[in-house]
């Protein structure tokens, strides 16, 4: 078995409406060897990947795929399931896969859904090796392969905070595009786009972010508007740190002046050597170090979005319980770092505990060392500001919520994490000596989405709601034009019609990419990448994409949904280099990929004379409009009788019909082929252009050539 090539279909495609990797797999000598005829194969596969018992397969129930193995199925189908399982073990839960034989015996196309292409490709390669090892009874270290896949996934996937926002956007049907290998992403298209990076948005100002990073400046600004803050000051060296601690009053907090995630923060130190050690550790993380008054109480994180409190958590220290046998080091590994929620990959909500200087100082305060053996039942604090949290949103006192909102506003942040020390967050801070200790830009959201206890909060929804108003999906009007004939002319005419209404239109064609009157690319741009380029342009208010059949097969579509799809024709004589699709029936399945992504309130425009049109329209979520140069065309007539919409010619007139009702466009000189004008009019009408606008655009199109 050999993978001959892998096609990355990065947009909606012939298989599905989401990205798919299509692997061309040559079975070779194994083409006639089903799984039940290979000695020991099924046992090895099932023991290596036992969780595949959850794969329902065509049987439709738990254990369905294992049942197929027992009955006998071929390696291409098995590779599909193994690849999906490896992706699942790497942290991607997908259920879509297909395996189909080509016209060449023993050559299969295996399609699997993916999120991050590098991981999908690695899982396909690993799946092929695993299957061959099972066939030839070779050793295979599945756990080590899964470990490597998880490391790769950690390197390439979006972080948990960005994923929270991306998932919230997708739940509102807002298109999402990742802009780099880090966490920068675009929500929406063209002129309606917004950008995010973790919990920062394009409304997060650089000045506000720089203020939040400077803890001393933040503390000063908060104090000046009347918010309670701990006493403290920056220090120059270790000796100055001790002097500041004595001035403020022991015990104190030592922390980097610029930092995040609690890194380098040492709480409650009172001995000179501890304070100096804390200084030396903090200064390795930032240029400046601060010494602050120790506030008593629990640390709370309040998330403020758009000036409103949307979530709050109460932090819990990380600790171990002695058993009289294990050292502190061993207890950390067995009781804390063994928690499956802890890990270095971004899918883990908790970080592993490291024996850094902060932990060593905390242990010293507790009277322990890493090699100490605490007595049975003894609770030993490891981190005072551990990343465990319980949700307390409903308990926050209104006055505390007001203070958190003011803190975010003073710094200037649209999304802010406000850290407050208080015994009881349900009481005003003044009554209990509570203080605001930090304001964080780009706060992590995982503690609110997956708190250790309490109610998860939809914080991603709250942030996305500040970027897009209710009912807004961030989409610009998109028209996709494909088919065997007239697609360049239809694309150009539809783009002109939209531009004539005052919109900045981006359109792609064999002549390049055009944004307004400017040609930005001169190559053949009927491909997905060119469409994506247009949708990234913040000037573009509407888009028209000429989409070739070849590009659909080679890379999928460059947009997730469209408002109008036009299929000009499905021609008999069209020749392709793709032998698998070189019949009108098969080509109609390719064109269907465009019809499938029409929005529910959108429109699919088809030629009435195409007998294969119903295949294209079969799964279209939107409405159907037929066009024809002959008003008596039987399919057109049947469609109108059923109440459908149509655009057709009657003598020298162009008529728009909806069921038995019809209206004639104002009289105008006809220019060019009706096979071009009719689908363009249908598309323009579907986008709510008025008849007068359509006629004016046709006249101006005639004048400009």
Q: Which residues, at least 6 apart from 5, have a Cβ–Cβ distance to it below 8 Å?
A: 23, 24
The answer to whether residue 18 scores a pLDDT higher than 90 is yes
- The beta-strand segments (E) located in 192-297 are 194-197, 200-201, 232-235, 252-256, 266-269, 289-293
CA distance 86 to 89: 5
Rounded to 5 degrees, φ, ψ at 343 are 180, 170
CB atoms within 10 A of CB 554: 16
* Helix runs in 285-381, H state only: 328-331, 357-365
Quote the pLDDT of residue 366.
79
CA distance 622 to 374: 68
DSSP strand pairing (598-607 vs 623-628): parallel
What tokens does 698 get? 């046709």
Q: How confident is the model at residue 194 (pLDDT cuts 50, 70, 90)?
A: very high
The answer to whether residue 705 scores a pLDDT higher than 50 is no
What tokens does 349 get? 């909500």
Rg (CA), the chain: 32
The CA angle 49-55-61, to the nearest 5 degrees, is: 140
Quote the pLDDT of residue 347.
53
The CA angle 579-580-584, to the nearest 5 degrees, is: 90
Q: Crossing angle for the helix pair 357-365 and 272-283, nearest 10 degrees?
A: 160
The torsion defined by the Cα of 320, 322, 327 and 332, in degrees rounded to 10, comes to -20
Q: How confident is the model at residue 337 (pLDDT cuts 50, 70, 90)?
A: confident
CATH number of 231-293: 3.30.1490.20
Average per-residue pLDDT for the chain: 93
* Nearest of 438, 460, 439 to residue 450 by alpha carbon: 460
Q: What is the DSSP letter of 453?
A: B
Q: Where are the domains of the chain?
A: 2-156, 160-197, 231-293, 298-454, 478-627+674-693
Dihedral sign, Cα of residue 101, residue 104, residue 105, residue 108: negative
Q: How confident is the model at residue 360 (pLDDT cuts 50, 70, 90)?
A: confident
Over pLDDT 90: what percentage of the chain?
A: 81
DSSP strand pairing (478-482 vs 562-567): parallel
Q: Which fold has domain 298-454?
A: D-amino Acid Aminotransferase; Chain A, domain 1 (3.30.470)
What tokens does 316 get? 């819990």
Q: Which CATH number fits domain 478-627+674-693: 3.40.640.10, 3.40.50.11750, 3.40.50.300, 3.40.1190.10?
A: 3.40.1190.10
Q: Which helix (H) or strand (E) holds 563?
A: strand 562-567
Q: Is 93 exposed, middle or buried (0-12, 13-18, 19+ CB in 10 A)?
A: exposed
CA 484 → CA 13, 490, 550, 555, distances in Å?
Answer: 18, 12, 11, 19
Q: What is the mean pLDDT of residues 477-491?
A: 96
The CA angle 688-692-697, to the nearest 5 degrees, is: 85
Quote the pLDDT of residue 137.
97
Q: How confident is the model at residue 580 (pLDDT cuts 50, 70, 90)?
A: low
pLDDT in tens, 40-49: 999 999 999 9
Quote the pLDDT of residue 573.
47
pLDDT in tens, 222-251: 999 999 999 999 999 999 999 999 999 999
Quote the pLDDT of residue 639.
95
Quote the pLDDT of residue 261.
64
Quote the pLDDT of residue 621.
97
**What's CA 132's distance to the chain center, in Å?**
34
* Helix runs in 19-141, H state only: 41-48, 64-71, 75-89, 117-135
The answer to whether residue 75 scores a pLDDT higher than 50 is yes
CA distance 103 to 86: 29
What tokens does 264 get? 């380098």
Q: What is the mean pLDDT of residues 278-305?
A: 93
* Helix runs in 180-224, H state only: 206-213, 215-224
Q: How many CA atoms lie within 13 A of 157 on its CB side?
A: 26
The CA angle 465-469-472, to the nearest 5 degrees, is: 110
First to last CA, the chain: 56
pTM for the complete prediction? Answer: 0.89
CA distance 145 to 555: 29
Quote the pLDDT of residue 388.
76
The answer to whether residue 363 scores a pLDDT higher than 90 is no
Q: What is the DSSP letter of 5?
A: E
């Amino acid at each position: 078995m050999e993978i001959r090539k892998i096609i990355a279909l990065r947009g909606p495609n012939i298989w599905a409406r989401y990205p798919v990797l299509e692997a061309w797999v040559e079975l070779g000598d194994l083409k006639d060897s089903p799984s039940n005829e290979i000695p020991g194969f099924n046992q090895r596969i099932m023991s290596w990947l036992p969780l595949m018992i959850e794969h329902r397969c065509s049987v439709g129930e738990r254990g369905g795929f294992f049942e197929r193995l027992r009955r006998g199925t071929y390696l291409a189908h098995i590779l599909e399931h193994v690849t999906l399982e490896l992706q699942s073990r790497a942290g991607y839960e997908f259920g879509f896969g297909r395996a189909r034989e080509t016209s060449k015996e023993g050559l299969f196309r295996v399609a699997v859904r993916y999120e991050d292409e590098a991981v999908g490709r690695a899982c396909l390669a690993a799946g092929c090796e695993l299957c061959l090892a099972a066939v030839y009874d070779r050793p295979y270290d599945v756990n080590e392969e899964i470990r490597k896949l998880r490391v790769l996934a950690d390197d390439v996937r979006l972080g948990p905070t960005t994923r929270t926002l991306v998932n919230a956007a997708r739940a509102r049907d807002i298109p999402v595009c990742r802009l780099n290998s880090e966490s920068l992403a675009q929500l929406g298209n063209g002129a309606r786009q917004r950008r995010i990076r973790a919990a920062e948005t394009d409304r997060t100002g650089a000045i506000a972010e720089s203020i939040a990073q400077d803890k001393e400046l933040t503390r000063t600004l908060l104090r000046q508007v009347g918010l309670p803050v701990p006493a403290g000051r920056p220090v120059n060296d270790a000796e100055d740190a001790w002097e500041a601690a004595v001035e403020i009053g022991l015990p104190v907090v030592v922390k980097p002046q610029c930092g995040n995630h609690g890194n380098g923060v040492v709480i409650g130190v009172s001995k000179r050597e501890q304070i100096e050690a804390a200084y030396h550790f903090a200064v390795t993380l930032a240029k400046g170090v601060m010494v602050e008054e120790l506030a008593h109480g629990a640390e709370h994180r309040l998330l403020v979005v758009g000036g409103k409190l949307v979530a709050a958590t109460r932090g819990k220290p990380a600790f171990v319980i002695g058993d009289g046998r294990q050292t502190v080091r061993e207890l950390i590994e067995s009781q804390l770092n063994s928690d499956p929620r802890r890990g270095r990959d971004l899918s883990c909500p908790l970080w592993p505990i490291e024996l850094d200087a902060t932990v060593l100082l905390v242990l010293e305060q507790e009277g322990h060392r890493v090699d100490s053996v605490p007595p049975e039942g003894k609770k030993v604090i490891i981190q005072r500001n551990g990343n465990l949290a319980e949700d307390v949103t409903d308990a926050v006192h209104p006055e505390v919520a007001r203070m958190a909102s003011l803190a975010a506003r003073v710094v200037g942040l649209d999304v802010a994490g406000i850290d407050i020390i208080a015994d009881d967050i349900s009481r005003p801070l003044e009554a209990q000596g509570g203080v605001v200790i930090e304001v964080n830009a780009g706060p992590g959201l995982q503690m609110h989405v997956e708190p250790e206890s309490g109610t998860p909060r939809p914080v991603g929804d709250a942030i996305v709601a500040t970027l897009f108003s209710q009912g807004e999906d961030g989409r610009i009007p998109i028209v996709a034009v494909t088919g065997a004939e007239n697609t360049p002319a239809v694309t150009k005419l539809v783009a002109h019609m939209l531009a004539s209404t005052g919109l900045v239109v981006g359109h792609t064609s064999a002549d390049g990419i055009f944004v307004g009157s400017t040609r930005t690319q001169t190559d053949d741009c009927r491909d997905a990448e060119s469409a994506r380029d247009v949708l990234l342009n913040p000037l573009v208010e509407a888009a028209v994409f000429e989409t070739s059949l070849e590009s659909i097969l080679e890379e999928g579509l460059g947009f997730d949904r469209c408002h109008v799809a036009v299929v000009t024709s499905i021609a008999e004589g069209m020749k392709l280099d793709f032998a698998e699709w070189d019949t009108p029936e098969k080509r109609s399945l390719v064109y269907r990929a465009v019809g499938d992504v029409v929005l529910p309130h959108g429109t699919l425009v088809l030629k009435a004379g195409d007998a294969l049109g119903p295949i294209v329209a079969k799964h279209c979520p939107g409405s159907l409009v037929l066009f024809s140069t002959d008003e008596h065309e039987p399919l057109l007539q049947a469609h109108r009788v059923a109440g459908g919409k149509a655009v057709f010619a009657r003598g020298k007139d162009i008529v728009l019909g909806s069921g038995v009702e019809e209206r004639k466009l104002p009289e105008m000189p006809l220019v060019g082929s009706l096979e071009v004008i009719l689908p363009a009019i249908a598309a323009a009408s579907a986008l709510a252009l008025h008849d007068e606008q359509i006629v004016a655009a046709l006249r101006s199109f005639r004048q400009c050539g």
